Structure 1
Amino acid sequence: MSHPHPPAAHDRGRPADAPYGSASWDFPEPLAVGSAPVPEYGSGSLADLLPTLAAGMGVPGTTAAIPELTPADRNCVFLIDGLGWEQVKAHPDEAPYLHALLGSSRGGTGRPLTAGYPATTATSLASVGTGLPPGAHGLPGYTVRNPATGALMNQLRWQPWTAPGAWQPYPTVFQLAHEAGVHAAQVSSPTFQNTPLTKVALSGGTFHGRLTGEERMDFAAEQLAAGDRSLVYTYYAELDGAGHRYGVASDTWRGQLMYVDRLVQRLAEQLPPRSALYVTADHGMVDVPFDEEHRIDFDADWELRAGVALLGGEGRARHVYAVPGAEDDVLTCWREVLGEQFWIASRDEAIAAGWFGPQIDERVYARLGDVVAAARDDVLIIASEREPKESAMVGNHGSMTPAEQLVPLLEVRS
């Protein structure tokens, strides 16, 4: 049930008249599992980006899944945490450089990619670095059940600790590139150098810690020039933090977007010859109002809690683990209570619909919830007692709506 790289895209479940990027979708009421707009695994997802770039540099074991990307000798991926395609489109004044790249000016082209499900940082970074969808790399949520212990594991913070190589055994694209003689490097915050998430998702070649965004842009350009063939990754996190704390409608978030726009231009203007810069993100974001209608509190709702042993995932993308024998009852209850606001699927229904990719590795199967809940409306399933910090966030993400699922793929070439 394993595979080295994503197979062809599966469009199962997406309404024919509602492609990604469409301004309006016709959602059935109550929501059917098959109506969820499944990510474009195999042709237009985050997992397809690095294999395409590496294939263009002749790295064995990689495939050009996004054929419209022209090969370059030197490739840089700048991942901006929390920058959705919809947010770039909506803020031309704050991000003039990025907004221009949505079209075909400045020698580049822009299009959206789908993040993958769930649209959350740990999952997306693993998809980027391994070139695999979540069902293969095995980081299918913010928190998921570890079948070996029966406890929830936070895959972003890697708590409680578990052996990284056993949890995610596939090589990263950076490792494959390094073995093929490509100069591979990551330029990010020093904080991330030795984290398990970096090890399983982004390792290979050399890691270079730089504190400021400007330092990262300058050093990423240097690393691109360091090899005849180069694959460089750099990252900026603070836009996402501003969105979580203050929302994407806030002045603080817009100020961060203005800064990010200047960083992209700074890097683009330093590209060495024969280079391609790709600006992308791990997810978008939506602001959710603070009221009982939009924030459904699992800890205060006896119906939703009935038969549930563990609540995983996050507010807009929940993994629900039932008490043994209660799986069908939990599924029925969650559909009755939430079925007009969430896509509610059993584990096997979500797998069959392709939410986590075309295939599921055996080691990943039991990490998925018995019930999987993905938000359609601007709603959350919070847990005010067990997740107080997460429940207080203004901006949220995780599901398959355009605002959180679509991420930019903006290109600049030298």
Structure 2
Amino acid sequence: MTATQTAPDWSQGSLANVLPSVADRLGVSRYAGRDLFDLPAVPRTVVVLVDGLGHDLLLQRSGHAPFLRSHLASARRIPCGFPTTTATSMGTLGTGLLPGAHGLVGMQVLDPDTDRLVNELSWEDGPDPVRWQPHETVFEVLEDAGVAVTMVGPWYFKGSGLTTAALRGGGFRSGLSLDDRVDAVASAVRESHRSLVYLYWGEVDKVGHVHGCQSWQWGDEVESVDGALSRLAARVPDDTSIVITADHGMVDVPFESRIDLAHEPELMHGIRHLGGEPRCLQLYTETGERDAVAALWSSRLRGSATVRTREQLLDDGWFGAVRREVEPRIGDLVVMTEPSFAVVHSGLMRPEIVRLLGLHGSTSEAELAVPVIVVPPRRGA
């Protein structure tokens, strides 16, 4: 398994097409003809995003997921976008746009107005999320069209910077446990004859980060999710479809297969800000230092990573079409690592990040590919 060297053909379907496809089949005229997944025409849909449930991982370990496995034959395998990280993918899902348009282009990226890094996941001291991501979300369009929209997730998602940027619109219901959220979804979807309910579950990703996506703990968590989805399918109204997807996959990176920049000071020469994440660093260089940094990193990491300039990535289409104001948020250089490699900085990154075993962010198929699994309604609309 190696990292993909060319950007996917986004026009053939990606995470950006999931909610527009759902909206089309809910009868929203703004998205007429946008369904790429042959979804059933229904008045009610539940969209479930299981954080970290990559397509290839699910296929590899489908013995833990009998309910999902029963629908895999008709599932679609699509790229989530780039970088393969939660904040970016949430923007892609919620807006129906690729990262260059919605502007959430990594876990940590530069705010050119302040020359500070913005963590787009935590949004701590971040910019106005509506200014940062000004496009209407699909949820907002659905609401305007008379569709009742409800998001179900952890309480701290309500009103957060990332939620406001990527998934604003509709109501919100919180639930701590997976069973609590299933209950909330089942209740919300029944309250309107035309509805979309969005359910988020993050524990598969968390377990994969800590224990690795090849661990028994990861399999156990997938079993829990699979059982909950089976219960959900039995509880929604007969005219409701369920669409299950993910924001990225994951790979396990052994700790001996990493470079710690805290012990490689020469690699930090000429770097003003270290953004991105361990499998996809975004380097913001000092004036006049980009070419030297690129040459040094390319030599030092040969065979383990590819170093590309912002212009190369834009020309190759990795972010899709890029708004002018988004361009400087992307690193002057982006380090795209091979599947069994990562670059950390124990002096700058939080210790819990450095300790993670399962990682994502780069361009291997295991990280890029996510499923679109459709559970059809028990009867026609």
Q: Which moved more, 1:241-250 or 1:346-355?
A: 241-250
Q: 2:203 aligns with which of 204, 222, 238?
A: 238
| Residue 139 of structure 1: aligned partner | 104
- Residue 28 of structure 2 corresponds to residue 66 of structure 1: no
Q: Structure 2: where are the runs of 5+ without partners?
A: none
| Distance of 2:302 and 2:312 partners within structure 1 | 15
Question: 1:217 aligned to 2:186?
Answer: no
Match of 2:81 in 1: 116
Q: Matches of residues 335-354 of structure 1 in structure 2 within 5 Å? A: 335-354=298-317
Task: Say whether the 8 Å CA contact 1:39–1:400 is kept in structure 2.
Answer: no
Specify which structure has the higher proportion of helix.
2
Deviation at 1:40, TM superposition (A): 4.0
For residues 92 and 395 of structure 1, the distance between their equivalents in structure 2, rounded to whole angstroms, comes to 19
Q: Which amino acid aligns with 1:399?
A: S
Runs of 4+ with deviation above 3 angstroms:
none
- 1:225 Cα deviation (Å)? 2.5
Partner Cα distance (1:72, 1:41) in 2: 26
Count of equivalent residues: 375
The residue that corresponds to 1:368 in the other structure is: 330
SS of residue paired to 2:232: helix
Q: Paired residue for 1:101, among 71, 82, 85?
A: 71
TM-score (norm 1): 0.87
Partners of 2:266 and 2:317 lie apart in 1 by 28
What secondary structure does 1:361 align onto? Answer: coil
The Cα of 1:144 is off from its aligned counterpart by: 0.4
CA distance in 2, matches of 1:273, 1:62: 24
Using the TM superposition, give the Cα deviation of residue 65 of structure 1 relative to its aligned residue in structure 2, in angstroms.
5.1
Length-normalised TM-score, structure 2: 0.94
Asked if 1:385 is matched to 2:350, the reply is no
State how far apart, in whole Å, the 2-side matches of 1:67 and 1:247 are.
Answer: 31
Corresponding residue to 1:92 among 33, 37, 62: 62
Structure 1 vs Structure 2 CA RMSD:
1.6
Instruction: Specify the SS of the correspondent of 2:172.
Output: strand
Match of 1:44 in 2: 13
C-alpha distance in structure 2 between counterparts of 1:121 and 1:88, whole Å: 18
Aligned to 1:311: 274
The answer to whether the 8 Å contact 1:184/1:231 transfers is yes
Output the amino acid matched with 1:251: W
Displacement of 1:60: 4.0
Residue 83 (1) aligns with residue 53 (2): yes
Secondary structure of residue in 2 paired with 1:77: strand
- Report the identity percentage: 37
CA contact (8 A) 2:253 2:339 kept: no
1:337 Cα offset (Å): 1.9
2:83, 2:8 → 1: CA distance?
Answer: 10
Distance in 1, Cα, partners of 2:9 & 2:176: 34
Further displaced range: 397-406 or 90-99: 90-99
Cα distance in 2 for partners of 1:318, 1:91 equals 29
Q: Deviations over 1:199-230 (max 9, x none)?
A: 11112111111222112112212322322221
Provide the C-alpha distance between the structure 2 equivalents of 1:342 and 1:157, rounded to a whole number of angstroms: 27
C-alpha deviation, 1:37, in angstroms:
3.9
